Structure 1
Amino acid sequence: MTRSLNERLGQAGIVVDEGDVPPVLEAPWFVRALQAFSGWLAALFLLGFIGMGAVFVLDSSAAAASLGLVMIAGAFALLRGSKGDFVEHLALAGSLAGQLLVAWALGAALGSVSAGFWWSLVGLQAVLALVMPSLTHRTFSAFAASLAFYLALTEGVSAPSLAGGLVLLSLTLLWLNEFRWPAHMRQLQALGYGLLLGLLAIQVMEYHGQSLLLGRYDYGTGLVWLEPWVGDGLATLALLLLVHHVFQRHRYAIAPSSRVAAYGAVAVLMLLSLQAHGLSQGALVVALGFAIGNRLIMGLGVMLLLLAITNYYYWLDATLLAKSVTLCLLGVLLLALRWVLRRRWQIDRRDAVGEDESQ
């Protein structure tokens, strides 16, 4: 193993040769949970003390924005200066309070909660997700940015499923390239988890017919004519990118017939998603977790898949018998596709190994 590779693995936090260095003992989960609770409790007392003496700043948007930015900068300095669960959660609570003050100032300056307000929050959360030296804060900021992005597109162009599809496409590209920059692998993973949790929250609200805009459901302008198929279209595009990535990674172990079968499965899944919206998104996240070997992503994908199936089952535009038959046929078809692809994959791998040995 070359020295350059050792250095790259070390930058990614992967220890190759520990030598005589004793292993680092991590605190048990209940100790870390207690430290996190202590951090939030201390932050609440501190913020309450500050709020009692600085409540007047809410009367001025400039003062509220200034205090909010100071609190965010203080959280950044605290995270840069020391490590630990107590400090991390204390800084996160302070940063959240500062973000609320900045949001209050933006709403007061704009005069209403419009698309411009949500786009401003998207920019703020994106910056925090990129610069904050805390994986927990990066995950939360990515989660908040995805929700603000959803609200901006819903308020501006009436396209909530477009927001979900773009978030799904972004997190797919992010997870497929998590090893491209070893030194920033953990930061990319934190962003990926935040976007995935944001997608899950968006889909929960959409499937239950609710809105994060406090009861404002009717729009009728902008890109409403794309709903709800644009989200499934972007999910299909992301699935095609995932299949292409897998084929490029195992280019010598997959026969052309298996490639055709895989693209055919994607086409069938796209057609099914036109009837059961959101099905392709859940299937994509499950396939993504399987492709990169991440069980947590697979679990979240299963949740998305179950939400999509449940939403279709309670869809009122079709009879219960028709939906039951459709879901039964869907399950049989997916199991058959899995069996065919798995069997063909094993045959192709044995043939590729045989060709390599003969050469």
Structure 2
Amino acid sequence: MTRSLAERLRQAGIAVAESDAAPGLGTPWFVRALQAFSGWLAAMFLLGFVALGALAVLEDGAMSGGLGLLLIGAACGVLYTTPGDFKEHLALAASLTGQWLVAWALVETLEEASASLWWALLGLQVVLALVMSSLTHRTFSALAASLALYLALTESVAAPDIASGLVLLVLTAIWLNEFRWPRHWRAMQAWGYGMLLGLLGIEAMEHFGQSLLPGRYYPNDLLAWLGPWLGEALGALALLLLLGHVFRRGERQAPGTTQAIAYGGAVVLMLLSMQAHGLSQGAVIVALGFAIGNRLVMGLAALLLLLAIGSYYYWLDATLLTKAQTLFAMGALLLALRWALRRWWRGMTRAGERHGEGEGTQP
């Protein structure tokens, strides 16, 4: 490795070994788990001690908010000191308590859990996801921001479907640009995982027929019709963004016919997802996991996809015999499609190899 390359890697935030010696052993997982448990235990005792003297503070919104911001600031300062699992989880517990106090102060100020509360909490979680140096905290903040966006859109414009589409679009953009900024790639991974968990939570509540705001959902006639379309359109836009990235980054330029079929398939998938809500989101994240080679993303996407299909199957107004026949036909179709795609891909590969050998042969 040349000196210039090593310097460039260090400037990008990537550790480079000075010698060929074996790297030091990392901390075993059980030691890290014990440190995390110790951090939470210490945080519980500390926060319990503070709570004994802060009961009167809860009656005053300004004092409650000030104490919450103080705890969040202290947690941020702890995370910027020497890293460690004990300090990380201690700071996380203190930050969660501070966020709860800030939320309580907002409720006291607004006198109800209105849309303004959720928009304010969304802004707070976005700031924490950007500022906190803990990957665990950033993941939690991204998760909480996704849920706050869902609640804000549900309360303000009664359009929860738009929230899931926005979350899907943003997390797709994050994962596709994961290594664009090497210094921040771990933070971007934390944001991506948090938003993916948030999307999974939103869709789970929706599929089970339980809104996160029970009894407070009053849809407008226009938005009740337009919201699902906008949500699916955002999901289709995320899929188009993913397809464009794959076609640009591919080893070989895909034929125009193949690209047209793929883009047309995105539109068809959006129309199908209007009937089976969540189908396009699961398919987009499965394709995203394959594109970036992340098995955890693919696993979470499989859960999301199975949730959408299972929900549609459960709520389908048909007899069990009809449902069984439908599943059999879909399984046979998918197996036939897999067989046809494998044969087509092998033919394309052999044709490309023959074409390459023909170009390299001298007359």
Query: Taking structure 2 as the reference length, what is the TM-score of the superposition?
Result: 0.91
Instruction: Show CA shifts across 1:159-198 (max 9, x none).
Output: 1111011100100011001111111101101100000000
Structure 2 counterpart SS, 1:259: helix
Structure 2 counterpart SS, 1:153: helix
Distance between the aligned counterparts of 1:168 and 1:150, measured in 2?
12
Task: Give the C-alpha shift of residue 106 in structure 1.
Answer: 0.8
1:146-295 aligned at under 5 Å gives the runs 146-220=146-220, 223-250=223-250, 252-295=252-295
Q: Where does residue 39 of structure 2 map in the other structure?
A: 39
Instruction: Show structure 1 runs of 5+ residues with no match.
Output: none
Asked if the contact 1:158/1:224 (under 8 Å) is kept, the reply is: yes
Task: Give the C-alpha shift of residue 224 in structure 1.
Answer: 1.9
Asked if the contact 1:11/1:182 (under 8 Å) is kept, the reply is: no
Taking only the aligned residue pairs, the percentage that are identical comes to 63
Asked if the contact 1:254/1:349 (under 8 Å) is kept, the reply is: no
Distance between the aligned counterparts of 1:342 and 1:94, measured in 2?
53
Distance between the aligned counterparts of 2:213 and 2:89, measured in 1?
28
Asked if the contact 2:154/2:217 (under 8 Å) is kept, the reply is: no
Distance between the aligned counterparts of 1:15 and 1:330, measured in 2?
49
Asked if the contact 1:40/1:93 (under 8 Å) is kept, the reply is: yes
Matched residue type, 1:91:
A
Q: Where does residue 117 of structure 2 map in the other structure?
A: 117
Structure 1 counterpart SS, 2:348: helix
Q: Where does residue 103 of structure 2 map in the other structure?
A: 103
Distance between the aligned counterparts of 2:221 and 2:110, measured in 1?
22
Matched residue type, 2:232:
D
Task: Give the C-alpha shift of residue 263 in structure 1.
Answer: 3.0
Asked if the contact 1:121/1:148 (under 8 Å) is kept, the reply is: yes
Q: Where does residue 29 of structure 1 map in the other structure?
A: 29
Root mean square deviation of aligned Cα = 2.3
Task: Give the C-alpha shift of residue 34 in structure 1.
Answer: 1.3
The answer as to 2:77 corresponding to 1:74 is: no
Task: Give the C-alpha shift of residue 64 in structure 1.
Answer: 0.6
Structure 1 counterpart SS, 2:275: coil
Distance between the aligned counterparts of 2:234 and 2:327, measured in 1?
23
**Gap change, CA 1:332 and 1:136, over 3 Å in 2:** same
Q: How many residues align?
A: 359
**Gap change, CA 1:334 and 1:208, over 3 Å in 2:** same
Instruction: Show CA shifts across 1:261-292 (max 9, x none).
Output: 43343344333222211111111111100110
Task: Give the C-alpha shift of residue 346 in structure 1.
Answer: 4.1
Q: Where does residue 55 of structure 1 map in the other structure?
A: 55
Asked if the contact 1:162/1:230 (under 8 Å) is kept, the reply is: yes
**Gap change, CA 1:253 and 1:338, over 3 Å in 2:** farther
**Gap change, CA 1:8 and 1:225, over 3 Å in 2:** farther
**Gap change, CA 1:335 and 1:19, over 3 Å in 2:** farther
Task: Give the C-alpha shift of residue 352 in structure 1.
Answer: 4.0
Distance between the aligned counterparts of 1:3 and 1:272, measured in 2?
55
Distance between the aligned counterparts of 1:340 and 1:269, measured in 2?
20
Structure 2 counterpart SS, 1:81: coil
Distance between the aligned counterparts of 2:237 and 2:8, measured in 1?
32
Q: Pick the structure with greater CA Rg.
A: 2
**Gap change, CA 1:316 and 1:340, over 3 Å in 2:** closer
Structure 2 counterpart SS, 1:228: helix
**Gap change, CA 1:27 and 1:215, over 3 Å in 2:** farther
**Gap change, CA 1:278 and 1:256, over 3 Å in 2:** same
Task: Give the C-alpha shift of residue 15 in structure 1.
Answer: 4.9
Structure 1 counterpart SS, 2:56: helix
Asked if the contact 1:253/1:349 (under 8 Å) is kept, the reply is: no
Q: Show structure 1 runs of 4+ deviating over 6 A.
A: none
Matched residue type, 2:286:
V
Instruction: Show CA shifts across 1:288-344 (max 9, x none).
Output: 001100000000000001100110011154444444444444444444444444443
**Gap change, CA 1:84 and 1:10, over 3 Å in 2:** same
**Gap change, CA 1:353 and 1:168, over 3 Å in 2:** same
Distance between the aligned counterparts of 2:186 and 2:210, measured in 1?
34
**Gap change, CA 1:208 and 1:78, over 3 Å in 2:** same
**Gap change, CA 1:157 and 1:319, over 3 Å in 2:** farther
